[in-house]
Amino acid sequence: MAYKIVYSIFYVLSLLPFRVLYGISDFFYIIMYHIVGYRKKVVRKNLSSSFPEKTSQELKEIERGFYHWLCDYFVETLKLLTVSDETLLKHIEFRNAEQIEEYYDKGQTCAAILGHYCNWELLSATGLAFKRHKEAVCGLIYHPLRSKIFDMLFKDIRQSKGGVCIPKQDILRYLVRYKREKRMWLFGYISDQSPKYLNIHCWLPFLNHDTPVFTGGEKIMKKMNDAVFYVDMQRPERGKYICTFRLITDKPAEMQENEITTHFFKMLEDTIKRDPRLYLWTHDRWKRNHEHFDKYYVMENGHVIKRKDVEL
């Protein structure tokens, strides 16, 4: 019942035209940024440490632009509940989707690797870009939210355009089933989250930080022999997005360990530097450090375990 009430409220709000929703976004920007100061300390710490070469005025402009975009992200995501396919395609342009279909023609499945940049929720409409393979499975691998109500809401939003949402712990089981059914797929892996210490198998330079990264997505891509694409997003103006699929490799098994992940983070960094306002700076991405990891954890047989010789 609680979910039905929440869903109904958001559904009605999503019926509002974009111009009204952006007006609501501007109002919430004032509240979030100027009054509440939502996670402002984290944002400032992340920005200043990622761009030490920028002046305080430049960082301030990025900060304000980020909060404007973040409020837009919420109303744009909400709009997915009711927006028509035709209208949505006026707001997001997909480029190079035909190359994905070429791999489908050859019988090779695909993976898309992306970060929390621009409005990643709009990628749930990627299937609309395909002209010849409407039957292909398009989906997102996601980490369930703590709130069951909002987890259900975001799942409904993400599946409103024909995509599927699969919890990360279940994805391999689903891919094996799709493979057995000889179905083509394109699954998106959001790969810039901060792993827990026991899940850290790789550290990479990223935005002026020694950064722990997930490598599980790369292992699945290799196992499934996916053609791997980086999702490069741009926002040329408010309410307009361009999503370009850039091939990383179509021979993942031939790539060195962590090579796909390394390519992804380099490409994501270039994207962020192009327009830093559009990255999710509220996440405390660098709260785990290499010194702590080396002191309290050790790798044994490919697994991270707590050191027995150090008191935690």
The stretch 199-219 carries a mean pLDDT of 94
The stretch 213-234 carries a mean pLDDT of 96
The stretch 162-169 carries a mean pLDDT of 88
Which of 21-25, 65-69, 271-275, 302-306 is least confident? 302-306
User: Could you tell me which of 75, 62, 71 has the C-alpha nearest to residue 30?
Assistant: 71
Q: What pLDDT was estimated at residue 247?
A: 98
Q: Classify domain 91-306 at the CATH topology level.
A: Glycerol-3-phosphate (1)-acyltransferase (3.40.1130)
Distance set, CA 274 to CA 100, 210, 226 (Å): 25, 21, 28
pLDDT band at 310 (very low <50, low <70, confident <90, very high): low
The secondary structure element, H or E, covering residue 44 is: helix 40-50
Q: How far apart are CA 149 and CA 109, in angstroms?
A: 33
Say yes or no to pLDDT of 281 above 70: yes
Q: What pLDDT was estimated at residue 256?
A: 96
The stretch 265-288 carries a mean pLDDT of 96
The stretch 106-120 carries a mean pLDDT of 96
The stretch 138-159 carries a mean pLDDT of 87
Q: What pLDDT was estimated at residue 229?
A: 98
Q: What pLDDT was estimated at residue 31?
A: 97
Query: Is residue 160 helix, strand or coil?
Result: coil
What is the tens place of the pLDDT at every residue in 36-82?
999 999 999 999 999 999 999 999 999 999 999 999 999 999 999 99
Q: Bigger pLDDT: 29 or 131?
A: 29
Q: Are 235 and 241 in contact (CB under 8 A)?
A: yes
Say yes or no to pLDDT of 125 above 70: yes
Strands, DSSP E only, in 35-95?
Answer: 92-95
Tokens for 157?
């939003």
Q: pTM of the entire structure? A: 0.94
Say yes or no to pLDDT of 299 above 90: no
Say yes or no to pLDDT of 201 above 80: yes
Highest mean pLDDT among 150-154, 251-255, 299-303: 251-255
The stretch 255-283 carries a mean pLDDT of 97
Q: What's the mean per-residue pLDDT of the chain? A: 93
Four-residue CA torsion sign, 167, 248, 135, 129: positive
Distance set, CA 261 to CA 8, 124, 203, 206 (Å): 40, 22, 10, 12
H helices of 203-256, where? 216-224
pLDDT band at 302 (very low <50, low <70, confident <90, very high): confident
Q: Bigger pLDDT: 102 or 299?
A: 102
Radius of gyration of the chain (CA): 20
**N- to C-terminal Cα distance for the chain?**
44
Domain ranges of the chain: 91-306
Q: What pLDDT was estimated at residue 309?
A: 60
Say yes or no to pLDDT of 124 above 90: no
Residue % of the chain over a pLDDT of 70: 99
Q: What pLDDT was estimated at residue 68?
A: 97
Say yes or no to pLDDT of 200 above 60: yes
Q: How far apart are CA 194 and CA 268, in angstroms?
A: 15
Q: What pLDDT was estimated at residue 312?
A: 45
Report the 3 state secondary structure along the chain. Answer: CHHHHHHHHHHHHHCCCHHHHHHHHHHHHHHHHHHHCCCHHHHHHHHHHHCCCCCHHHHHHHHHHHHHHHHHHHHHHHHCCCCCHHHHCCCEEEECHHHHHHHHHCCCCEEEEECCECCHHHHHHHHHHCCCCCCCEEEEEECCCCCHHHHHHHHHHHCCCCCEEEEHHHHHHHHHHHHHCCCCEEEEEECCCCCCHHHCCEEEEECCEEEEECCHHHHHHHHHCCEEEEEEEEEEECCEEEEEEEEEECCHHHCCCCHHHHHHHHHHHHHHHHCHHHECCCCCCCCCCHHHHHHHEEEECCEEEECCCCCC
Length of the chain equals 312
